[in-house]
């Protein structure tokens, strides 16, 4: 079975082609374009710009994925005058949650392909798509074997917009155990980086500087560790980081003439002495440790409570090295199998959407699918 997946929920335009082969899901192509560079200076995604870039990227990305994965040249066909056979079995597409303009680009493209190719269309929840990136490991079997993900499984979806814990009973039955009550973990990383004057997304920059620091140098709160539930909160951690940074580092702003923004945060790293740079590294390391401790301890508590056999992490923050190391250490001690996607599959991509559709093959008529920006689980 070959599924083409389309992902356009935010600022990435991605088409992935996934094939079931030899009891594995094999990625034949996974092509992604991004408008991230246009949003880096503004501190976050501008929806209108993201949607316009989706329109620009969609067809070239689709053509490249079909050429790379199936040696199929879409440009040779006149879509309006003929129906033709693309060597795929189904089309999967993200229909929510996300930015409405961006979602529409992907969904309308999928509907067009479904009609002209006479192929079923499978709507996919973007957040579940992240979880199914875990099934795309080259060594992972999709059947019940020692190399497969065993149920019940606990999935932590952790990104710039989400921090959620789900109990997966099987591929079609799951329960949301909890989520963030305010900011997501990735948002905490990014906004603390923004405070230091670094471009969006700042999480990778914090992680980079943290490798040079002592994560015990500063104490930051581990929010809601004693709440006895699966919820998270990171807004207070941001405030704590702001207050601690103000005490130890000089923060400054640069005026922007003739700009509505008025000012921009100056990258603090530019004006620090060697001694102050050590303080910066220690602040970043301590912040990263606080976020990781909170994610790991809350997840492991839920894993013990529900007696799971596997723990899966996914989303952009799942690429964080410290988070992976701590989960590997804790799961070995508890005898639970741990899974994380390759780092290139942690961010938004079409292959994960195709994988989710493979395990949740519920096609709908192309005329019936609509976007749902507010979709939950």
Q: How confident is the model at residue 324 (pLDDT cuts 50, 70, 90)?
A: very high
CATH number belonging to the domain at 153-340, selected among 3.30.420.40, 3.30.70.20, 3.40.50.11540, 3.40.50.2020: 3.30.420.40
pLDDT of residue 199: 85
DSSP string, 171-235: SS-EEEEEEBSS--HHHHHHHHHHHTTPPSS-HHHHHHHHTTS-TTSS----TTTTSSSS-B--H
C-alpha 188/C-alpha 203 separation (Å) is 8
* The pLDDT of residue 18 is above 70: yes
In whole angstroms, give the CA distance from residue 201 to residue 156. 20
Sheet holding 90-96, edge to edge: 24-34, 12-21, 2-7, 90-96, 121-125
- Cα separation of 301 and 248, whole Å? 35
**φ/ψ (deg, to 5) at 124:** -130, 135
Where in the chain are the domains?
2-137+346-359, 153-340
Q: What per-residue confidence (pLDDT) applies to 121?
A: 97
Q: pTM of the prediction?
A: 0.92
Q: Express each pLDDT in 257-275 by its tens digit.
A: 555 555 556 667 777 888 9
Same fold? 2-137+346-359, 153-340: yes
Q: What is the pLDDT of residue 144?
A: 74
Q: Does domain 2-137+346-359 have CATH number 3.30.420.40?
A: yes
* Residue of 297, 281, 295, 366 whose CA lies nearest to 108: 366
| C-beta separation of 137 from 341 below 8 A | yes
Each residue's pLDDT tens digit, 95-148: 999 999 999 999 999 999 999 889 999 999 999 999 999 999 887 888 877 778
User: For residue 25, what are the β-bridge partners?
Assistant: 20
Alpha-carbon distance 33 to 1, whole Å?
A: 26
Strand partners of residue 31: 15
E strands, the chain, in order: 2-7, 12-21, 24-34, 90-96, 121-125, 153-158, 163-168, 174-179, 253-255, 263-265, 310-314, 337-339
Under 8 Å between Cβ of 33 and 7: no
Structure tokens at 262: 């008025």
């Amino acid at each position: 079975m070959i599924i083409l997946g389309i992902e356009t929920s935010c600022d990435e335009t991605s088409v992935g082609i996934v094939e079931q082969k030899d009891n594995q899901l094999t990625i034949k192509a996974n092509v992604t374009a991004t408008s991230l560079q246009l949003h880096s200076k503004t501190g976050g995604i501008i929806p209108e710009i993201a949607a316009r870039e989706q329109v620009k990227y969609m067809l070239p990305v689709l053509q490249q994925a079909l050429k790379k994965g199936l040696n199929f040249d879409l440009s040779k066909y006149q879509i309006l005058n003929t129906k033709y056979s693309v060597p795929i079995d189904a089309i999967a597409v993200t229909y929510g949650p996300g930015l409405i303009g961006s979602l529409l680009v992907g969904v309308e493209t999928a509907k067009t392909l479904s009609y002209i190719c006479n192929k079923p269309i499978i709507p996919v929840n973007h957040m579940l798509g992240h979880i199914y990136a875990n099934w795309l490991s080259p060594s992972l079997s999709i059947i019940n074997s020692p190399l497969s993900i065993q149920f019940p499984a606990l999935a932590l979806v952790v990104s710039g917009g989400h921090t959620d814990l789900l109990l997966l009973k099987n591929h079609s039955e799951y329960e949301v155990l909890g989520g963030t009550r305010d900011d997501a973990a990735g948002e905490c990383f990014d906004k603390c980086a923004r405070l230091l004057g670094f471009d969006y997304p700042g999480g990778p920059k914090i992680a980079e500087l943290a490798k040079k620091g002592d994560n015990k140098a500063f104490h930051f709160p581990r929010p809601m560790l004693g709440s006895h539930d699966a919820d998270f909160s990171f807004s207070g951690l941001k405030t704590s980081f702001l207050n601690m940074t103000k005490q130890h580092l000089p923060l400054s702003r640069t005026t922007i003439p003739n700009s509505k923004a008025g000012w921009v945060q100056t990258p603090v790293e530019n004006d620090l002495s060697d001694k102050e740079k050590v303080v910066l590294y220690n602040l970043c390391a301590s912040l990263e440790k606080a976020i990781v401790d909170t994610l790991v301890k809350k997840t492991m508590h839920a894993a013990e409570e529900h007696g799971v056999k596997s723990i899966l992490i996914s989303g952009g923050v799942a690429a964080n090295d410290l988070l992976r190391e701590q989960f590997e250490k804790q799961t070995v001690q508890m005898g639970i199998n741990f899974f994380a996607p390759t780092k290139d599959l942690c961010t938004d991509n079409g292959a994960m959407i195709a994988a989710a559709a493979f395990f949740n093959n519920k096609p709908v008529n192309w005329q019936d699918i609509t976007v749902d920006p507010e979709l939950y689980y």
